[in-house]
Amino acid sequence: MLSGKYRYTHIFGLCLVWQRTAARDSYDFIVVGGGASGLTLATRLSEEPNFSILVLEAGDDHINDTKTQCPGIFASMYGDHEYDWDYRNVPQPYLNNRTHANIAGKGLGGGSAVNFMWWTHPSRKDIDNWGALGNANWSWVEVQPYLKKSEAYLPPASTEAIQDMQTQYVEPDLHGTCGPIVNSFPTSYGPFTEAWAETFERLGLHPSGDPRGGEALGGFTNPFNINPQTKERSYPATEYHLHAADRPNLKVFTGAFVTKILIEESQAVGTAASPRAVGVEYVKSNFTHTAQASAEVILSAGSMQSSKLLELSGVGDCGLLSSFGIECLVNNTNVGDNFQNHLMLPLGWAVVPSVTTTDDFASTEAFNAALEEYTLSRSGPFTNVNGSSALLSLEQIGGSYNEIEPSPVQPRYEAQHKLLLDGLNSTKTSAVQQIFISGGISPWYYNDSTKVFAGPGDGGNYFTIIGIVSHPFSRGSVHIQSADPSQQARLDPRYLSHPVDRQIERQLAFHMRDLVQNPPVSGLLEGKGTVFQPGYLDGGVLGEDDVDAFVAEKMLIAYHHSGNNAMLPRDSGGVVDPRLRVYGVEGLRIVDASVFPMLPQGTITSIVIAVAERAADFVKEEHWHAPE
């Protein structure tokens, strides 16, 4: 509490005066972060009328914002600090010592408000691996109901669309149909969408079943989080929160930056009782506020913020905390470690004349015309996202890790690495993901995400494949670098520090190079897939001698930050237990991607929401009491 005094801090580049603290508010549950996890969790908790819930989101409410609504302009939010935290990592030795822009959604919906809208799922092995690491009751069988609970699957609109996009692989029973988040196939699509599925089929890589089942691999047309009726993004801010916003037991504050979890040491005498989280301190409209939680504080602030808040509040490595003058309440050196993320390796080609791509809207005039059409009538090219996926095994891309010494660079992750190596031998979990974008991107702007997806702007039309190693071996960290809550945590992902990652990236680059030289995709590209977008391979060659330099030079960063508050046994690197409760602190839980012990394949929105759905059940089970 501040007794008539003032404090100063810098948040988002502004000098703010923390004015006299307002009166305390009290709730049963305080959810820190209104992203995909936080809104899902809070909405489900508010179904219990006896619970009172406060959600604190540092960003703003963009629900009625065209940038979040309109599928075709999602990239316009990148690098804009109204929508994107725009985190920076420390220089990475295996990426030419570069500091990259790390996109992270800011505002209601978090990452789900700014992402590509691709709707993919973890493999069965991904979730079973979580259980194998010592997390009781975590398996595909136990998580699958929550994946289904969150989704509202819509099939292609016509028989013709099914044939064009080759979605015969879909097994409807695997998909949820009554959940909040809509996932649907494009209602309009271009020649690349049709050619993608057919090319993989001709190569014998059409999926043998529905990837939604957690085992089938291959190249397929991807569903998206787009509502075909409204032509708008479908995400937790609109599909969970909006339907619960008027409940009297739920409050959501935006522009509320949480600076500390309030943790009280046990007052019990002669016992080993743990300290307890009793509330939070936050800044809103230049005032500091304190809110109390009678039941739990739940961190859903995302990987970059959740570890930072733990450490600022006295939970973490005591040596690190004491170096910044922070009292250490719980010594857990695992906090902030085990960080994982996907990397994106793009490669672009020139498109034959007359094929439309997103590059046709690079000029201000064309962009504004398409946006006006969308705004006025919810029609036109911006109603969809053109792209598709492939989930492929190492064998399917012609790869091998036999020549690599499999012992881990970081021995503390040996159990994880063993499971990952087993996965590389599997034909039921992917080693890589490939997605295509109908348009060019510019990876040379790796530190300026306002330009990466804006298109080359050189008057050409391009086609891009982005390759992703599904299960990276490299592990990094997220730690505070001062006691100032407004300073970004130090992000050291240690990208490509493990040799297996580097080897798979090489094989992935070669597979992308060769894939597009197969029909029918090759027929849509200049020189049958041998003419690259300027800036990628200006010498026209990608061979053994230059592939490592290409990987380091062109790599981009995905926004699947995870793992650094891992759900693991404490003596195996854990920060939370299998019910997501923080070790050593009563009344404190973490529900976001930072608890994932191992990063799953594909985009992670589906599993982020599913884990939040399950966490809501955990909380209800532990705190629900029958009315007297």
Distance CA 415, CA 297 (A): 31
| Cα dihedral: 45, 276, 487, 96 (round 10) | -80
Residue 19 to residues 8, 210, 287, 507, Cα–Cα distance (Å): 9, 56, 5, 56
Nearest to 551 by CA among 467, 614, 481: 467
Helix, strand and coil percent figures for the chain, each rounded to 5: 30, 25, 45
Q: How many CA atoms lie within 13 A of 205 on its CB side?
A: 26
Token pair 């692989």 is at which residue? 169
Instruction: Flag whether 90 is marked binding.
Output: no
Helix (H, G, I), strand (E, B) or coil at 69: helix
Helix axes 499-515, 547-554, angle to 10 degrees: 100
Helix axes 124-132, 140-149, angle to 10 degrees: 130
| Residues 112, 604 contacting (CB under 8 angstroms) | no
Residues β-bridged to residue 9 = 16
Contact partners, residue 342, CB within 8 Å, separation at least 6: 468, 469, 470, 472, 558, 560, 599
Residue 384 to residues 160, 349, 371, 441, Cα–Cα distance (Å): 18, 22, 12, 18
CA 623 to chain centre: 29
Rg (the chain; Cα; Å) = 24
Distance CA 465, CA 345 (A): 8
CA 428 to chain centre: 23
Distance CA 627, CA 417 (A): 48
CA 240 to chain centre: 18
Helix (H, G, I), strand (E, B) or coil at 14: strand
Residue 323: count of CB within 10 angstroms of its CB: 12
User: Which residue ranges make up the annotated binding site for FAD?
Assistant: 258
User: Which residue ranges make up the annotated binding site?
Assistant: 258
